[in-house]
């Protein structure tokens, strides 16, 4: 089968490709006509080079298995399909745009709009968590703002289910997630729980109301190190128009210690829905700036020391081999004399 999906192509004599919406780094997203039901659906089809990757295939299967168990108005709905000729996921087709596209168009949202969107995300997350599922990759790209004003949570590629037989383990690999929204415990390689999603939601609300993610850095490792060593700038320092109550909610969700965050997304949603009554604890006064990620020894002296050590090792090895060669040659010149003596004796 061709690696390129084409408009008009039919998968399994059922799904006719109407439009290729996006070709990502690992999968196609297409609008298709389900010829059995007559409705438009969205298909997520892996690129062929990843279909043979056991790790990717396992995650892809888990994403579909988790999605098929979910049924909530704030979560992307998936539909079963049997007798597939290749892996793909059938999903509801949504008209709208992602939160990431919305933020690209308008960097900072109004406080009211941000609260409305995050409150709906909380509804979906609360349902997920009660079902024993942790999303673990919440970010603006994975939230769809539909034309009818509703919100959908997308992409369960690295979600963790308590009921799953196989779970993603981050202990032997780099933490999975997106640097701007990943929780500190995930940076440390831990699996994460519902409070991991709360942290990501706090990071998203921070960005939606200030126009910037909580941490800045030249590369992902600097960003991830920053959230381990310190706290972000107070949101109201970046947006003075933001209310103290929303700042309080954001910083509560962004606590580096999971036990200090909201105990549940339901409790976070309750405060968002009545944020005018939130008690102010002046969390912003207890924030600690991140420590710069610097090596203890400047780079140039480290390089010089490395070169000196390599030169010393070279001369040491050179001396040792020269000494050994000289010793072997000396020993070798005496052996013919022994043979001659032995020959004469015979």
Active-site residue list: 137
Query: How far, in Å, are 9, 60, 92, 137, 158 from residue 168 at the CA level?
Result: 34, 12, 26, 13, 7
15-23/151-153 β-pairing: unpaired
Handedness of CA 155, 161, 163, 169 (dihedral sign): positive
Distance CA 240, CA 246 (A): 12
Reference 168, options 121, 128, 126, 134; nearest CA is 134
DSSP-assigned letter for residue 84: -
| DSSP assignment of 96-120 | EEEHHHHHHHSSS--HHHHHHHHHH
| DSSP assignment of 201-246 | HHHHHHHHHHSS-S---SSHHHHHHHHHH--PPPHHHH-TTS-HHH
Residue at token pair 């297409």:
30
Reference 54, options 80, 29, 87; nearest CA is 87
27-34/15-23 β-pairing: antiparallel
Distance CA 276, CA 188 (A): 35
Distance CA 179, CA 223 (A): 6
For 180, counting Cβ atoms within 10 Å of its Cβ (0-12 exposed, 13-18 middle, 19+ buried), the class is: buried
Measured between alpha carbons, how far apart are the two ends of the chain, in Å? 83
Q: In what order do the strands lie in the sheet with 143-146?
A: 96-98, 143-146, 151-153
Distance CA 196, CA 302 (A): 38
């Amino acid at each position: 089968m061709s690696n390129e999906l084409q408009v008009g192509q039919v998968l399994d004599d059922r799904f006719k490709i109407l439009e290729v919406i996006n070709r990502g780094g690992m999968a196609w997203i297409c609008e298709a006509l389900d010829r059995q039901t007559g409705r438009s659906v969205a298909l997520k089809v892996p690129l062929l080079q990843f279909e043979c990757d056991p790790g990717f295939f396992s995650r892809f299967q888990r994403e579909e298995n988790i999605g098929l168990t979910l049924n909530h108005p704030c979560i992307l709905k998936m539909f079963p399909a049997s007798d597939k000729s290749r892996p793909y996921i059938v999903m509801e087709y949504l008209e709208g745009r992602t939160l990431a596209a919305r933020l690209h168009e308008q960097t900072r949202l109004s406080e009211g709009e941000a609260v409305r969107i995050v409150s709906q995300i909380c509804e979906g997350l609360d349902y997920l968590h009660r079902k024993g599922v942790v999303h673990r990759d919440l970010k603006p790209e994975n939230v769809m703002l539909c034309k009818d004003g509703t919100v959908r949570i997308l992409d369960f590629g690295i979600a963790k289910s308590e009921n799953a037989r196989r779970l993603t383990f981050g202990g032997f690999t780099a933490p999975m997630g997106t640097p701007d929204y990943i929780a500190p415990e995930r940076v440390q390689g831990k699996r994460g729980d519902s409070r991991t999603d709360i942290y990501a939601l706090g990071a998203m609300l921070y960005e939606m109301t200030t126009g910037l993610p909580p941490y800045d850095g030249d590369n992902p490792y600097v960003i991830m190190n920053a959230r381990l060593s310190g706290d972000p700038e107070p949101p109201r320092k970046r947006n003075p128009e933001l209310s103290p109550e929303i700042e309080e909610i954001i910083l509560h969700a962004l606590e580096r210690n999971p036990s200090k965050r909201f105990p549940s997304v339901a409790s976070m949603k309750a405060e968002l829905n009545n944020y005018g009554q939130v008690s102010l604890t002046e969390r912003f006064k207890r924030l600690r700036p991140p420590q710069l990620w610097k090596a203890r020894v400047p780079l140039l002296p480290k390089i010089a020391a490395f070169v000196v050590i390599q030169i010393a090792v070279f001369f040491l090895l050179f001396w040792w081999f020269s000494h050994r060669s000289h010793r072997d040659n000396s020993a070798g010149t005496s052996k013919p004399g022994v043979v001659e003596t032995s020959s004469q004796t015979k």
